[in-house]
């Protein structure tokens, strides 16, 4: 692989001229270059970060002065075909053949950005001209509008993919509060006032002609920036491809009018938005009601106007101030409002927008209802007192150092996103000569300046922006009345549609949908698809990870490499299982995975039930070290923040039953990380005061979790399948709803007994025979990679290798419905949402080495691929925003997930019909579809190892699961010869049972308006349905993609 500085950044290719070519100050070896086409104004930015992926972002600046959601609707319609490729789904089909997993996009307040990531350069260069043809010259058909944006179906229901997506968002507390903030700050002449996603009321009257007009005004070459990251792509080839295949097309469309065509008005910068900045002359309060039956807590936003977009120094200073004020349990605002007996909120976060000027927000989560009206004033008063009392410069120095290290780390963990965020913002607001882009990337220089600031300068900044400046307060207040109104309005709208259209009209509308879907689903001719050959897997540049094991119980005689030699030379036999994964990193991360063991005399389920409080309090307890010295909790947090880059403890990552503690440090502080691991695991003191604060905060935060339909449906299905002794189930939402009140009562009545329970839990968790340890980073730079552990873990008695306990998998703690899913369905009604979220679960393979696993992997790729079967049958029909088949191999389950559906029952039936047709041979599965799916698996494999950290993580996960090194690549090779017959066989064996009541279970979370209908429909299918709302749960004695439960500082 070439070194970053060896990448040739050409001065000119075609009419693309180089504007910027800088090496990043904060990531030596990574260069950023920017070119612009003289004839069209199209801009290209390239970042040379190390990765097997080439990641592309096509960013269009999209300003709108209304709530029609045209930026968002275009984001969807772009993918439905283009002038040269007028077939819905062809873009994703080509992406799947280019070592990508389809395409994606997002719409923000200021931009719509389209993305694709490929494994290697060949696939990226192949799809690039096709993607730009879709962006610049989409078909935007009436049929596409009907299915993708909005329609009224034969039952009188408003539907469509965009409409369904926004129905799941519009009445959420954060969306309602954010929109009110925009309305309060910006006038009708400022585009930042708008809801670019589209309000449902506006979407119902939007016309396709309006979208076409908007596209013509915004989707022009001088308004587009292409960002490409990944040094496996040669930038000269990138520019050559654009010059040969894209620029001629732009010219042929009469759009080659230079960098600034006559009459061009740059969005936001030269439009009416620029002359109508946000106004906040005095303090102002807005009250927003959101639908919620639980009236115990609300939300609070406090906003201030910030700095010009290119005032990078003060913008960074305000970010640092926000971190100083809130980042840990000992930060000033946390001590004042959170780490107290009766918390005024459960979390405070500061963040700034990237607009011009920026807007700074403080968000206070889960505020007790009695505090809502006064908390903003208390916050402002406290900020004034902090400024008057003076800034703690020792802590500020620690915050600055940590922020710098986290910036450096981000270039190892997610360099592409860091580059993209800076470049997208520059494309919207930045100077056209590239000077602002250069300035935004001079982070090291900016931090150097902030390092020299005095306490007086920091206090002055705090006063200027947060104390003396006017503030906008947005109070989010829960409203049961509004919840009832939304339910009634949804039913009334259906009745209105039925009355307006009548039976014949509704039948006509339904036929329009079916005709549109048929037109959209005209298959792409195979001869076009064959023009895009699948690249060679050998062209993927994988990141190398060298692995070693400590001597002793982890020893592996089969490992021979430079890193193993270095560890062996240290000469230490460890009474712990330690794996070393060497990568080229400035940091060392120590991870310890714990698996609870039974403790004699203690109830296993009762001990595991304590895990929510154990995790939430883990880093905020006093510590009594072996030498007798005591650190109070404030000192623990201060020292952790000063000595580490990040720390966290969580369940469900990488194994569902494992508890993973991570501490990351600069590599010269390796011994510090080990000492913290020891102290945190073995020497914390469980004080009733700290346990109470942790539990009270967690209890206070539950109402916001209960408003998340996706999380509720996930937790409901996990609750159904798991035993009470499961580690993961202890963190389940429904368990915590019952647990926290009872725990707080126990803590009040018998604190000593509770403390003894936590001591027993510690013993259950810290048996060295169950632990697995990973050290990842620059192992070769460590003088004592193994023996450093003996300095702090000398008290651990060595034990023979045959006493090492196997890792615990979730399949071992499945309840009866997890071992044999059948008949059961649970439906939760949620007052704050309108969409449906569902999991439909059946038995699946419980091992990655199961003989059916390669075929099942390909089968899921075939079914789930963008514009493939599930996409066309469900999303294309407006039945769901997302629908996909997944596996939970660790639990031995396979499931169908429905996300943001207007009717989960209809989505279920459509998917069942699809599977039945495939199994019966009524629906063809051609070789090109299979070939494309296999190609997308190459991307999926590369994506899991896309950064040095991800590659090292994959190495450790393979160890925990008992898999060979580079398992992902070997599994990819095993899918090569899978045939259509193999795929259909595993669909019938493993996926079809999902859709039969006798072999599946179901969990659904949905709005109250659809609840009775969905319950009735699933009962008619043969399920035994348990219908609930959270009001039913109050006081009750009953009870990975989602579900990770984490405590700690920011970490990867």
- Domain count for the chain, please give it: 4
646 shares a domain with 562: yes
Rounded alpha-carbon distances, angstroms, from residue 190 to 74, 270, 352, 697: 21, 11, 18, 39
Q: What is the pLDDT of residue 670?
A: 98
Structural domain includes residue 382 = yes
Question: How many other C-beta atoms are found inside a 10 Å radius of the C-beta of residue 399?
Answer: 21
CATH number for the domain that contains residue 395: 3.30.830.10
Query: Which residue did the predictor score with more confidence, 834 or 317?
Result: 317
Q: Which of 730, 655, 663 is nearest to 889 (CA)?
A: 655
What are the residues whose beta carbons fall under 8 Å from the beta carbon of 594, sequence distance 6 or more? 658, 659, 660, 661, 765, 766, 770, 771
Q: Which of 59, 137, 45, 52 is nearest to 91 (CA)?
A: 137
Q: pTM of the entire structure?
A: 0.89
Structural domain includes residue 478 = no
- Residue 755 token pair: 């403390």
Grouping H, G, I as helix, E, B as strand and the rest as coil, residue 385 is helix
Query: Which residue did the predictor score with more confidence, 949 or 676?
Result: 676
pLDDT 10s digits, 108-127: 999 999 999 999 999 999 99
Residue 884 host element (H or E): strand 882-888
Contact 168, 898 (CB under 8 A): no
Distance CA 711, CA 828 (A): 11
Check pLDDT > 70 for residue 4: no
Backbone angles phi, psi at 821, to 5 degrees: -60, 135
Check pLDDT > 70 for residue 601: yes
Structural domain includes residue 518 = yes
What are the residues whose beta carbons fall under 8 Å from the beta carbon of 107, sequence distance 6 or more? 62, 71, 72, 75, 196, 197
The band of 101, judged by pLDDT with boundaries at 50, 70 and 90, is confident
The winner for highest mean pLDDT among 569-573, 589-593, 1047-1051 is 589-593
Check pLDDT > 50 for residue 734: yes
- The string of DSSP letters for 841-883 reads EEE----TT-TTHHHHHHHHHHHHSTTSHHIIIIITTTS-SEE
DSSP state of 432: T
Q: What is the pLDDT of residue 487?
A: 87
Distance CA 839, CA 718 (A): 10
Grouping H, G, I as helix, E, B as strand and the rest as coil, residue 303 is strand
- Residue 306 token pair: 């910030």
Q: At what angle do helices 121-136 and 235-245 cross, to 10 degrees?
A: 40
Q: What is the pLDDT of residue 1042?
A: 42
Q: What is the pLDDT of residue 834?
A: 85
Distance CA 747, CA 731 (A): 19
1008 shares a domain with 864: yes
The alpha-helical segments, DSSP class H, found in 204-262 are 208-218, 235-245, 247-252
236 shares a domain with 299: no
Across 952-960, average pLDDT: 93
CA angle 816, 733, 996 (to 5 degrees): 40
Percent of the chain with pLDDT over 70: 97
960 shares a domain with 935: yes
pLDDT 10s digits, 199-256: 999 999 999 999 999 999 999 999 999 999 998 899 999 999 999 999 999 999 999 9
Distance CA 970, CA 606 (A): 41
Sheet holding 836-843, edge to edge: 882-888, 893-901, 836-843, 1001-1007, 824-830, 1024-1029
422 shares a domain with 314: yes
Structural domain includes residue 845 = yes
Across 1027-1031, average pLDDT: 86
Contact 68, 246 (CB under 8 A): no
DSSP state of 768: G
DSSP state of 138: B
Structural domain includes residue 1028 = no
Distance CA 286, CA 800 (A): 66
Distance CA 673, CA 790 (A): 13
Across 29-56, average pLDDT: 95
Distance CA 84, CA 106 (A): 24
Print the domain residue range for 851. Answer: 824-1022
pLDDT 10s digits, 399-435: 999 999 999 999 998 899 999 999 999 999 999 999 9
Question: How many other C-beta atoms are found inside a 10 Å radius of the C-beta of residue 380?
Answer: 17
DSSP state of 573: E
Q: What is the pLDDT of residue 1038?
A: 31
838 shares a domain with 778: no
Cis peptide before 637 (omega within 30 of 0): no
Compute the mean pLDDT over every residue in the chain, rounded to the nearest whole number. Answer: 93
pLDDT 10s digits, 170-182: 998 999 999 999 9
Q: Which of 810, 839, 860 is the last residue of a domain?
A: 810
Distance CA 299, CA 347 (A): 10
Distance CA 1043, CA 906 (A): 26
Q: Which residues pair with 450 in a beta bridge?
A: none
Cis peptide before 882 (omega within 30 of 0): no
135: exposed, middle or buried (Cβ count in 10 Å: 0-12, 13-18, 19+): buried
pLDDT 10s digits, 752-775: 999 999 999 999 999 999 999 999
776 shares a domain with 749: yes
110 shares a domain with 202: yes
Contact 211, 70 (CB under 8 A): yes
Q: At what angle do helices 751-765 and 733-749 cross, to 10 degrees?
A: 130
Structural domain includes residue 752 = yes
The alpha-helical segments, DSSP class H, found in 351-479 are 372-389, 393-413, 415-429, 435-440, 443-451, 455-462
Q: What is the pLDDT of residue 206?
A: 98
The band of 849, judged by pLDDT with boundaries at 50, 70 and 90, is very high
Check pLDDT > 80 for residue 78: yes
Distance CA 69, CA 211 (A): 9
DSSP3 helix / strand / coil % (the chain, rounded to 5): 50, 20, 35
566 shares a domain with 523: no
Q: Which of 451, 445, 481, 287 is nearest to 372 (CA)?
A: 287
- Residue 627 token pair: 């030498």
Structural domain includes residue 410 = yes
Across 275-294, average pLDDT: 96
The band of 1047, judged by pLDDT with boundaries at 50, 70 and 90, is low
342: exposed, middle or buried (Cβ count in 10 Å: 0-12, 13-18, 19+): exposed
Q: What is the pLDDT of residue 1050?
A: 53
pLDDT 10s digits, 651-709: 988 899 999 999 999 999 999 999 999 999 999 999 999 999 999 999 999 999 999 99
Backbone angles phi, psi at 220, to 5 degrees: -120, 150
554 shares a domain with 522: no
Structural domain includes residue 911 = yes
CA angle 641, 647, 648 (to 5 degrees): 140
Check pLDDT > 80 for residue 637: yes
Residue 692 host element (H or E): helix 688-705
Distance CA 207, CA 308 (A): 37
The band of 643, judged by pLDDT with boundaries at 50, 70 and 90, is very high
Question: Alpha carbon 205 to chain centroid distance?
Answer: 32
293 shares a domain with 207: no
258 shares a domain with 236: yes
């Amino acid at each position: 692989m070439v070194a970053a500085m060896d990448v040739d950044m050409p001065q000119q290719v075609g009419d693309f001229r180089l504007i910027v070519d800088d090496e990043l100050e904060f990531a030596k070896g990574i260069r950023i270059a920017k070119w612009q086409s003289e004839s069209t104004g199209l801009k290209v930015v390239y970042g040379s970060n190390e990765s097997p992926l080439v990641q592309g972002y096509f960013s269009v600046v999209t300003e709108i002065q209304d709530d029609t959601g045209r930026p968002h609707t275009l984001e969807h319609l772009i993918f439905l075909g283009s002038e040269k490729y007028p077939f819905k789904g062809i873009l994703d089909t080509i992406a799947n053949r280019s070592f990508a997993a389809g395409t994606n996009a997002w719409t923000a307040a200021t931009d719509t950005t389209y993305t694709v990531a490929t494994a290697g350069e060949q696939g990226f260069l192949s799809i690039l001209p096709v993607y730009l043809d879709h962006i610049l010259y989409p078909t935007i058909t009436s049929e596409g509008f009907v299915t993708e944006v909005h329609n009224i179906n034969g039952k009188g229901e408003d539907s469509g993919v965009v409409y369904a997506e926004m129905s799941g968002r519009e009445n959420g507390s954060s969306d309602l509060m954010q929109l009110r903030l925009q309305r309060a700050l910006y006038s009708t002449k400022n585009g930042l006032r708008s809801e670019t996603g589209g309000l449902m009321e506006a979407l119902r009257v939007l016309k396709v002609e309006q979208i076409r007009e908007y596209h013509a005004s915004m989707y022009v070459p001088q308004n587009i920036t292409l960002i490409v990251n990944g040094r496996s792509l040669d930038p000269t080839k990138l520019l050559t491809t654009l010059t040969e295949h894209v620029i001629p097309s732009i010219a042929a469309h009469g759009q080659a009018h230079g960098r600034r065509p006559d009459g061009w008005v740059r969005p936001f910068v030269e439009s009416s938005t620029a002359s109508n900045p946000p106004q906040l002359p005095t303090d102002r309060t807005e009250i927003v009601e959101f639908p919620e039956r639980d009236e115990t807590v609300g939300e609070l936003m406090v906003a201030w106007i910030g700095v010009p977009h290119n005032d990078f120094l003060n913008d960074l200073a305000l970010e640092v101030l926000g971190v100083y004020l809130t980042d840990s349990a000992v930060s000033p605002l946390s001590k004042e409002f959170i780490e107290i007996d009766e918390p005024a909120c459960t979390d405070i976060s500061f963040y700034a927008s990237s607009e011009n000027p920026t807007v700074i927000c403080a968000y206070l989560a889960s505020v007790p209802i009695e505090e809502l009206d006064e908390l903003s004033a208390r916050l402002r008063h406290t900020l004034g007192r902090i400024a008057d009392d003076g800034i703690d410069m020792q802590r500020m120095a620690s915050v600055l150092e940590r922020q710098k290290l986290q910036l450096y780390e981000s270039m190892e963990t997610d360099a592409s996103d860091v580059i993209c965020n800076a470049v997208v913002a520059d494309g919207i607001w930045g100077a056209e000569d590239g000077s602002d882009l250069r300035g935004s990337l001079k982070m090291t220089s900016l931090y150097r300046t902030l390092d020299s600031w005095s306490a007086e300068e920091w206090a002055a900044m705090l006063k200027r922006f947060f104390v003396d400046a006017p503030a906008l307060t947005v109070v989010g207040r829960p409203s049961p009345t509004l919840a009832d109104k939304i339910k009634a309005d949804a039913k009334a709208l259906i009745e209105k549609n039925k009355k307006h259209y009548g039976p014949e009209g509704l039948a006509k509308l339904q036929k329009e949908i079916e005709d549109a879907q048929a037109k959209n689903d005209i298959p792409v001719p195979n001869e076009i698809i064959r023009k895009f050959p699948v690249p060679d897997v050998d062209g993927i540049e994988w990141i190398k990870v060298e692995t070693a094991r400590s001597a002793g119980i982890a020893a592996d005689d089969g490992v021979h490499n430079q890193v193993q030699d270095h560890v062996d030379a240290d000469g230490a036999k460890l009474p712990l299982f330690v794996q070393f994964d060497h990568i080229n990193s400035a940091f060392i991360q120590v991870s310890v995975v714990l698996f609870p063991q039974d403790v004699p005399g203690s109830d296993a389920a009762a001990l595991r039930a304590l895990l929510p409080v154990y995790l939430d309090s883990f880093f905020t307890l006093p510590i009594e070290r072996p030498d007798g010295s005591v650190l109070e909790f404030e000192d623990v947090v201060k020292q952790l923040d000063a000595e580490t880059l990040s720390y966290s403890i969580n369940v469900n990552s990488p194994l569902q039953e494992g508890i993973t503690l991570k501490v990351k440090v600069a590599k010269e502080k390796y011994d510090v990380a080990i000492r913290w691991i020891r102290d945190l695991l073995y020497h914390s003191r469980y004080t009733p005061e700290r346990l109470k604060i942790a539990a009270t905060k967690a209890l206070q935060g539950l109402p916001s979790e209960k408003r998340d339909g996706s999380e509720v449906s996930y937790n409901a299905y996990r609750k159904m399948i798991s035993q009470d002794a499961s580690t993961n189930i202890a963190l389940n939402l429904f368990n915590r709803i019952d647990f926290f009140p009872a725990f707080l009562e126990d803590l009040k009545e018998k604190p000593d007994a509770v403390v003894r329970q936590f001591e027993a839990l510690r013993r259950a968790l810290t048996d060295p025979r169950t632990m697995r340890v990973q050290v990842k980073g620059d192992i070769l730079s460590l003088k004592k990679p193994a023996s450093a552990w003996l300095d702090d873990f000398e008290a651990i008695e060595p034990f023979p290798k045959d006493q090492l306990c196997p890792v615990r998998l979730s399949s071992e703690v499945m309840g009866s419905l997890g071992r044999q899913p059948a008949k059961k369905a649970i439906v939760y009604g949620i007052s704050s949402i309108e969409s449906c979220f569902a999991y439909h679960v059946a038995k699946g393979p419980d091992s990655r080495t199961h003989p059916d696993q390669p075929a099942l992997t390909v089968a899921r790729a075939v079914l789930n691929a963008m514009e493939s079967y599930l996409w066309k049958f469900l999303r294309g029909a407006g039945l769901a925003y997302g629908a996909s088949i997944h596996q939970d191999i660790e639990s031995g389950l396979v499931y169908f997930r429905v996300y943001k559906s207007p009717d989960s029952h209809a989505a279920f039936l459509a998917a069942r019909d699809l599977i039945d047709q495939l199994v019966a041979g009524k629906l063809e599965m051609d070789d090109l579809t299979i070939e494309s799916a296999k190609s997308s698996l190459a991307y999926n494999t590369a994506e899991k190892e896309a950064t040095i950290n991800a590659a090292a993580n994959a190495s450790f996960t393979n160890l925990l699961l008992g898999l060979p090194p580079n398992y992902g690549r070997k599994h990819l090779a095993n899918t090569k010869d899978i045939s259509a017959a193999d795929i259909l066989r595993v669909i019938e064996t493993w996926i079809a049972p999902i859709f039969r009541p006798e072999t599946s279970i179901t969990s659904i979370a949905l709005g109250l308006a659809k609840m009775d209908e969905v319950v009735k429909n699933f009962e008619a299918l043969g399920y035994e349905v348990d219908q609930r709302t959270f009001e039913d749960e109050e006081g009750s004695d009953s009870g990975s993609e989602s579900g990770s439960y984490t405590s700690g500082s920011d970490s990867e």
